[in-house]
Structure 1
Amino acid sequence: MALICAVTVLSGVTGTAHASPAKPTPPKSGSLEDVRKKIDRLYHDAGLATEAYNAAEEKTKKQSERIVSLARDIAKGQAKLDKLKAQAGAAARAQYRNGGMPDEAQLMLSDDPQEFLDGAGRMRQGEKATKGMLGELARTQEELAAYAKDASAQWKKLEANRKAKAASKKKIKKQIAAAKALESKLEKKERERLRKLEEEEALKKQSAWVSSGVLKDIRGRASGQGKKAVEFATDQIGKPYVWGAEGPSSYDCSGLTSQAWAAAGRGIPRTSQEQWKQLPHIDIKNMRPGDLIIYHSDASHVGMYLGDGAIVHAPRPGRNVTITGAGSMQILGVVRPDAKS
Structure 2
Amino acid sequence: MGPGKRGLLTAAVAVVCAVTVLGAPGTAFASPEPSPSSTATTSPDLTPAPSTDLEEIREKLETLYHDAAVATDAYNAAEEAAKKQSAEIVALARKIVEGQERLAELKNRAGAAARSQYRTGGLPDEAQLMLSDDPTEFLDGAGRVLQGQRATKGLIAEVTRAQEDLEQYSKDASAQWEKLEANRKAKAAAQKKVEKQIAAAEKLESQLEKEEKERLAKLQEQADQRAQTAWLDTGILDEIDGKATAQGKKAITYATAQIGKPYEWGAEGPNSYDCSGLTSEAWKSAGVSIPRTSQEQWKQLTRVPVQDMRPGDLIIYFDDASHVALYVGDGAIIHAPRPGRTVTLAGAGTMPILAVVRPDA
TM-score by length of 2: 0.88
Which secondary structure state, in structure 2, belongs to the residue aligned with residue 281 of structure 1?
A: strand
Alignment match of 2:356 (pick from 326, 334, 338): 334
Which residue in 2 is equivalent to 1:12? none
The answer for the alignment partner of 2:188 in structure 1 is 166
Instruction: Judge conservation of contact 1:42–1:179 (CA < 8 Å) in 2.
Output: yes
CA distance in 1 between counterparts of 2:183 and 2:330 reads 41
Q: State how 1:1-341 maps to structure 2 within 5 Å.
A: 19-339=41-361
Task: Return the offset for 1:178.
Answer: 0.1
- 1:30 Cα deviation after fit: 2.1
1:17–1:40 Cα contact (<8 Å) kept: no
Moved over 6 A (4+): none
- 2:51–2:212 Cα contact (<8 Å) kept: no
In structure 1, runs of 5+ residues without a counterpart are: 1-15
- Separation (CA, whole Å) in 1 of partners of 2:266 and 2:244: 28
CA spacing shift, 1:81–1:18, aligned 2, 3 Å:
closer
**Bigger mean CA deviation after superposition, 292-301 or 150-159:** 150-159
- What is the CA–CA distance in structure 1 between the aligned matches of 2:262 and 2:169, rounded to whole Å? 44
- The whole-number CA distance in structure 2 between the counterparts of 1:142 and 1:202 is 63
Q: Which amino acid aligns with 1:269?
A: P
Identity %: 65
Q: Which structure would you say has the larger RCO, counting Cα contacts within 8 Å and 6 or more residues apart?
A: 1
Superposed displacement of residue 198, structure 1? 0.9
Shift of 1:18: 6.9
Show structure 2 runs of 5+ residues with no match.
1-37
Paired residues of 1:17 and 1:37 also in contact (CA < 8 A):
no
User: Following TM superposition, by how much is the alpha carbon of 1:29 offset from its aligned partner in structure 2, in angstroms?
Assistant: 4.1
CA contact 1:294–1:335 (8 Å) conserved in 2: yes
Distance 1:152 1:17 in 2: 36
Query: Once the 2 structures are TM-superposed, how far is the Cα of residue 19 of structure 1 from its aligned partner?
Result: 2.7
**Residue deviations 1:85-133 (CA, integer Å, cap 9, x gap):** 1111111122222222111111101111111111111111111111111
User: Offset at 1:23?
Assistant: 4.4
How much is the aligned-residue C-alpha RMSD, in angstroms?
Answer: 1.3
